[in-house]
């Protein structure tokens, strides 16, 4: 029997209608467009409506990826949702999404690895396809970060946004996902966290910045070395979109030209687990990403958690 691989067969995304610009934030906290843009590369972020949940956003993104694929919703065998902002503690966002998509014969669950959640979910999807009789997996990152943000705290409220991105992973005879690495270290639990007393995000921004750059630079280098690849062999780096300065610092460490980076943080802000699938779909829709391109995905988040995926699109 020939070897089975997993591959992205389609992508989709959803961004809420409401846009909050840096200029809007100037009216809410003591900040300025220049301060935010110079330090983060963020211009604006989308903010979900009060009645719009992570399930609703995941549903819209899923419909798009299903439409763009050659399968029907009922062909989906498994749903993995990466989120830190579930609509309910239970049932999981994935099961609520299964219900909304009206898929009867399927299993579904959430994972929480903060901003690395989508990479964790892809890793799980890849292993299920390679080891089991599963053919089609819907993998989503969906976040309503606006509910975790203290809108009077200028240190954090300028950074985050809402949205959802989805991919359908199918089985293939040719390599799609080539390798995947994930990791975590709980020693850093208090540097970036939701404070259990306030239920709001708290962060030591400077420390997070430095560790994020070093960790993502290191795992990217290790992933390339493991596969005897040079940076020139990579067509696109699609990193977690937290801050354009973090992304540029990683690119510099890797000697990767900026033309090979998909950058959406300017328009989306940090959408946590949704940021990478949103960026992938953006790259597909803008015509940048082509079939057979070699892509390196990378993420870093609270925990700390981190991960990378090397794949052929």
Residues involved in catalysis: 115, 240, 270
- Min CB(168)–ligand COA separation in Å: 26
Residue 297 is a binding residue for ligand COA (CB under 6 A): no
Pairwise CA distance, residues 69 & 247, whole Å: 30
Span near ligand COA by CB under 6 A; candidates 30-38, 89-97, 120-128, 181-189: 30-38
Residue 301 is a binding residue for ligand COA (CB under 6 A): yes
Residue 155 is a binding residue for ligand COA (CB under 6 A): yes
The order of strands in the sheet holding 162-172 is: 5-14, 162-172, 136-144, 78-82, 107-111
The order of strands in the sheet holding 177-184 is: 177-184, 305-312, 294-301, 236-239
Subset of 196-255 contacting ligand COA (CB under 6 A): 203, 205-206, 208-209, 212, 242-243, 246
For ligand COA, the binding residue among 300, 305, 307, 309 (CB under 6 A) is: 300
Pairwise CA distance, residues 130 & 7, whole Å: 11
Residue 256 is a binding residue for ligand COA (CB under 6 A): no
Residue 154 is a binding residue for ligand COA (CB under 6 A): yes
Residue 266 is a binding residue for ligand COA (CB under 6 A): no
x-or-dash string of contact with ligand COA, 67-96, rule CB under 6 A: ------------------------------
- Min CB(81)–ligand COA separation in Å: 19
At 41 the three-state DSSP class reads coil
Pairwise CA distance, residues 278 & 54, whole Å: 14
CA distances 199 to 122, 150, 196, 275, Å, are: 28, 9, 5, 22
Q: CB nearer to ligand COA: give 31 or 99.
A: 31
Q: In b/e form, how buried is each residue of 21-56, taking b as 16+ CB within 10 angstroms? A: ebeebbeeeebebeebeeebbbbbbbbbeeebbbbb
Tokens representing 42 are 């963020």
For ligand COA, the binding residue among 19, 26, 31, 43 (CB under 6 A) is: 31
1 class by beta-carbon count within 10 Å (0-12 exposed, 13-18 middle, 19+ buried): exposed
Q: Considering only CA atoms, which of 275, 146, 163 is closest in space to residue 199?
A: 146
Pairwise CA distance, residues 298 & 276, whole Å: 8
Residue with tokens 């040719």: 174
For ligand COA, the binding residue among 83, 171, 270, 309 (CB under 6 A) is: 270
For ligand COA, the binding residue among 4, 35, 99, 100 (CB under 6 A) is: 35
Closest-approach residue to ligand COA (CB): 205
Q: CB nearer to ligand COA: give 163 or 176.
A: 163
Residue with tokens 């089991």: 132
Residue 188 is a binding residue for ligand COA (CB under 6 A): no
- Min CB(260)–ligand COA separation in Å: 21
Span near ligand COA by CB under 6 A; candidates 5-13, 103-111, 124-132, 151-159: 151-159
Pairwise CA distance, residues 182 & 115, whole Å: 12
- Binding residues for ligand COA (CB under 6 A): 31, 35-36, 39-40, 115, 154-155, 158, 203, 205-206, 208-209, 212, 242-243, 246, 270, 300-301
């Amino acid at each position: 029997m020939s070897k089975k691989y997993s591959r992205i067969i389609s992508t989709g995304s959803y961004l809420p209608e409401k846009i909050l610009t840096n200029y809007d934030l100037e009216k809410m906290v003591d900040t300025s467009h220049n301060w935010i843009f110079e330090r983060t590369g963020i211009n604006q972020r989308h903010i979900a409506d009060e009645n719009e949940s992570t399930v609703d956003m995941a549903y819209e993104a899923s419909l798009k990826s299903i439409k763009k694929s050659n399968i029907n919703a009922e062909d989906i065998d498994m749903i993995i949702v990466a989120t830190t902002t579930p609509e309910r503690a239970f049932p999981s966002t994935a099961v609520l999404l299964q219900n909304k998509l009206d898929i009867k014969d399927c299993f579904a669950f959430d994972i929480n690895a903060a901003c690395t959640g989508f990479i964790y979910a892809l890793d799980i999807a890849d292993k299920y396809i390679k080891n089991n009789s599963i053919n089609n997996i819907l993998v989503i990152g969906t976040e309503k970060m606006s509910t975790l943000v203290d809108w009077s705290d200028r240190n954090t409220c300028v950074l985050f946004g809402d949205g959802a991105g989805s991919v359908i992973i199918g089985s293939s005879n040719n390599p799609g996902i080539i390798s995947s690495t994930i990791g975590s270290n709980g020693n850093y639990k208090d540097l970036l966290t939701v404070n259990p007393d306030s239920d709001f995000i708290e962060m030591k921004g400077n420390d997070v910045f430095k560790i994020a750059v070093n960790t993502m630079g290191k795992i990217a280098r290790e992933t390339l070395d493991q596969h005897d690849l040079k940076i020139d062999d990579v067509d696109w780096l699609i990193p977690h979109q937290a801050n354009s300065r973090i992304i540029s610092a990683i690119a510099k460490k890797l000697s990767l030209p900026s033309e090979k980076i998909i950058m959406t943080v300017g328009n989306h802000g940090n959408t946590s687990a949704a940021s990478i699938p949103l960026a992938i779909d953006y790259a597909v829709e803008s015509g940048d990403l082509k079939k057979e391109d070699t892509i390196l995905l990378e993420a870093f988040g609270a925990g700390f958690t981190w991960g990378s995926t090397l794949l052929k699109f």
